[in-house]
Amino acid sequence: MAEQLRPEDRSSLQSEVGPVNMAVGGLLVFEGGDGTSYDAVADRLDRRLHLVPKYRQRLRTAPLGPLSGPVWVDDDAFDLHWHLRRATVSGFADLQAYVARDMSRKLDRSRPLWEVHVVDGLPDGRRALWAKMHHALVDGIAAVGIAMLLLDPTPEPMELPEPEEEWQPRGYDLRSHLQAMARTPLDRAGRFMWQRTLRAMDPNPWRAAEEWRSAADLFGELARSRPQAPMTPLNRPIGPNRRFATASVELGRLKAAGRGAGGTVNDALLAVVAGALRDYLVAAGTDLRGRDPVALVPVSTRREDEGHTVGNRVSTVFVDLPVDEADAAARVRRISSQMRDVRRSAAIRAGELIAGATGQVPPLVSTILVRAIGNVRAMNLVVSNLPGPQQPFYMNGSRMQEVYPVVPLNPANQGLTIGILSYDGMVFVGLLADAKLDPPVEVIADALQAHFDALAKG
């Protein structure tokens, strides 16, 4: 049994060359208790892993090698405990360093492309779970797979269906794979995979495929028609090693700041990022001479009259960050005005088509957009800001208190990504950077936290 990869998954594998590591991650911090011990996590995964079959699959190179690309096959040597690891740190700063070191290591492509690390040593008996998976594994189901496997919406674990039978790997059927390839001429392989990817998304998959390609082309043309993003300390060639830092703020404070300046919570977040980047550029001794750095960000395209009945409506766009503006409220107003214009532009439609066709939103589509943009320096960083659940989640009764997203650096001249996730009344920020970034990522993380703290004080 072999399953073809989707085009965007193949793209993420092809992007992982040199210093680019396409793993994505989440750092989950829990209150103290036995619910997140190594044995408890192992038992939880063992009981629920059948719900996400992809986590027992690995990549296999097809008989014709790079001409046909890899496929997903069941891992006949699957060992849960190889993917579940344990560590002890000396505090939260050491935990951040642990995440950075692990994000400097690429996942082993001969095994299923995910890991969960149980990390002890935080104050007050708290414990962290560090979940890491490859970009290629994260589709519409697998993206929430680890959370579904580990977490519950109440302190009492959910009753989920047991597997009907003990899992057994399905053998790789070489003859069937070769027959499928024979029916698909190699020069049309890409088109064949588009059809498979889009069949479930549109009654006319060929029309959807053409729309997807047209959207990517349009996005690339729009990127090339924009002024090139300024050169900043963030945009030098990266190395293989990473550093990681965090920040957080109360969601209510952020919403109030956005409303007070006539914008949204997303506008306020981007204004804080712009303020922190302003401080960072000063620390770096960099003068952009009035030019604005550019962020690639997701944005909601839902109209106010649509309510909440039409599902997710998300696009991805370029946003100019007004680092020349010292006043926080003024930054919110400028970004809010810019976002109103963006929502009426062709760029929003292009990004929405890409997200709709793939079922993904940034940072997951960033690989596709990077390829569409080509060698143009259209952006300086990725800011992935997505809403999360506003209710607490638990692991065997232990409450999850914090959750920090970790977004990969891509392409090879992007030295910083900012992942933002709201959860249970808070906003948590994970900053991943090249280890050689100068000034280091801690400088911009401290600036971000300072702007958050100033916001919280009113």
Instruction: Split the chain (458 residues) into runs of 10 and give each run's mean pLDDT.
Output: 72 86 93 95 90 87 62 92 97 98 96 96 96 78 58 86 77 42 36 34 40 52 72 95 97 93 92 97 95 82 43 65 94 91 61 48 52 68 84 93 92 92 94 97 97 82
For the stretch 237-296, pLDDT in tens is 999 999 999 999 999 999 999 999 999 999 999 999 999 999 999 999 999 999 999 998
Which amino acid would we find at residue 121?
G
Helical pair 251-260 and 265-284, crossing angle rounded to 10 deg: 90
Q: Are 321 and 294 in contact (CB under 8 A)?
A: yes
What does the pLDDT read at residue 100? 98
What does the pLDDT read at residue 203? 39
The Cα 55–Cα 51 span in angstroms is 9
Cα-Cα-Cα-Cα dihedral sign, residues 77, 45, 243, 379: positive
HEC string for the chain: CCEECCHHHHHHHHHCCCCCCCEEEEEEEECCCHHHCHHHHHHHHHHHHHHCHHHHEEEEECCCHHHCCEEEEECCCCCHHHHEEEEECCCHHHHHHHHHHHHCCCCCCCCCCEEEEEEECCHHHCEEEEEEEEHHHCCCCHHHHHHHHHCECCCCCCCCCCCCCCCCCCCCCHHHHHHHHHCCCHHHHHHHHHHHHHCCCCCCHHHHHHHHHHHHHHHHHHHHHCCCCCCCCCCCCCCCCEEEEEEEEEHHHHHHHHHHCCCCHHHHHHHHHHHHHHHHHHHHCCCCCCCCCEEEEEEECCCHHHCCCCCCCEEEEEEECCCCCCCHHHHHHHHHHHHHHHCCCHHHHHHHHHHHHHCCCCCCCHHHHHHHHCCCCCCCEEEEEECCCCCCCEECCEEEEEEEEECCCCCCCCCEEEEEEEECCEEEEEEEEECCCCCCHHHHHHHHHHHHHHHHCC
Q: In the chain, what percentage of residues exceed pLDDT 90?
A: 50
At residue 275's C-alpha, the angle toward residues 272 and 276, to 5°, is 90
What does the pLDDT read at residue 63? 60
What does the pLDDT read at residue 341? 79
Q: Is the domain covering 215-456 a CATH 3.30.559.30 domain?
A: yes
Domain 3-150 and domain 215-456, same fold? Reply is yes
What does the pLDDT read at residue 210? 46
Q: Please give the CATH superfamily to which domain 3-150 belongs.
A: Chloramphenicol acetyltransferase-like domain (3.30.559.10)
Residue whose pair of structure tokens reads 């020069």 in the numeric block: 187
Q: Where are the domains of the chain?
A: 3-150, 215-456
The Cα 379–Cα 414 span in angstroms is 9
Average predicted confidence (pLDDT) for the chain? 79
The Cα 425–Cα 440 span in angstroms is 29
Q: Are 226 and 318 in contact (CB under 8 A)?
A: yes
